[in-house]
Amino acid sequence: MADGQVPGRSGAPVPPAANIFTKLGLPPSESDHRRVLAVLRYLDA
């Protein structure tokens, strides 16, 4: 294994969770917790 590689990682440039947040219209933010906002948006639906 090469140095700096994590076993089991696909090396995808964008984590799957980031794609979900983008589809929900939740941009990256320093002040908001996107996981909590995603759950609140789901419960609101």
Higher pLDDT, 33 or 11: 33
Q: What is the average pLDDT across 33-38?
A: 88
Helix axes 16-23, 34-44, angle to 10 degrees: 50
Find the mean pLDDT for residues 32-39: 88
For residue 13, CA distances in Å to 9, 10, 41, 45 come to 11, 9, 26, 30
Q: Are 28 and 15 in contact (CB under 8 A)?
A: no
Give the model's pLDDT for residue 43.
Answer: 93
Alpha-carbon span 45 to 41, nearest angstrom: 6
